[in-house]
Amino acid sequence: MVANRAKLKLAVLISGRGSNLQSLIDACDDADYPVEIVTVVSNVPGVQGLDKAEAAGIETTVIDHTAFDGREAFENALHDAISASGAEFVCLAGFMRMLTGGFVGKWRDRMINIHPSLLPDYKGLHVHERVVEAGEKFSGCTVHFVVPDLDSGPIIVQAKVPVEPGDDADTLAARVLDEEHKILPEAVRLIAEDRVSVDGDRVIIT
């Protein structure tokens, strides 16, 4: 990171308890961490993640997708809220809405997601159940750039965990989540330090 450079202004989008959000909040408690979370937006009212943000003094907004007539209106409101916050970059941290190509295009190479598998394997939902049922020996998590195709963007950071004998979806999910809490703040740090660039379908880290 360049000395005295302003911190990266980050918007975090959530839909639930906000455990990955909390990992970013905790990272931001370090004065040397080159990121400031300027807003947290949830598409679901009353979730725990909003409480976590408010406890940290971060501006919060609820944009309930069920209150809109279609995706375009919802995404327009979402884009407006992010832009109004002054955010330069967007992090999806347990945000459980698929975004259209139109929205993704507005934030091209400026929006990341964390997914609980070793992409490109096990895209989509119910990942841990599927991993256990398949008898996999390893699973993990991935931070990647968001593209219009679900869970298909260039990969920034991954972490690998064993699938233990006797694991069910919940025990595996807990093990993977521990790693999510490590790699998400690290990926955001790399981005804020201008160490990440996208070359086609690949990420280059310097």
Query: And the tokens for 85?
Result: 């916050």
Phi-psi category of 17—alpha, beta or left, where left has phi over 0 and alpha has psi -120 to 50? alpha
Task: Tell whether the model's pLDDT for residue 114 goes beyond 90.
Answer: yes
- Model confidence at 5, in pLDDT bands (50, 70, 90)? confident
> Tokens 């997601």 label which residue?
113
- What mean pLDDT do residues 127-142 have? 98
Tokens 């949830």: give the residue. Answer: 42
Catalytic residue set: 115
15 in a structural domain? yes
Contact at 8 Å (CB) between 203 and 155?
A: yes
Is residue 1 in a domain? Answer: no
Q: Does 61 fall in a domain? A: yes
Measured distance CA(158)–CA(138) in Å, rounded: 12
Q: What is the CATH number of the domain that holds 56?
A: 3.40.50.170
User: Would you state the pLDDT for residue 1?
Assistant: 42
Residue-wise burial string across 43-60, b where 16 or more C-beta atoms lie within 10 A, e elsewhere: bbeebebbebbeebebeb
pTM of the full structure? 0.96
Task: Provide the number of structural domains found in the chain.
Answer: 1
The answer, yes or no, to whether residue 199 has pLDDT greater than 60, is yes
Cis ω for the linkage preceding 185 (within 30 of 0): no
Task: Please indicate, yes or no, if residue 2 is contained in any of the structural domains.
Answer: no
Question: What tokens were used for 11?
Answer: 């918007």
| Domain extent for 99 | 8-205
**pLDDT of 2:** 44
Quick check: is 3 in a domain?
Answer: no
Span 135-156, pLDDT tens digits: 999 999 999 999 999 999 999 9
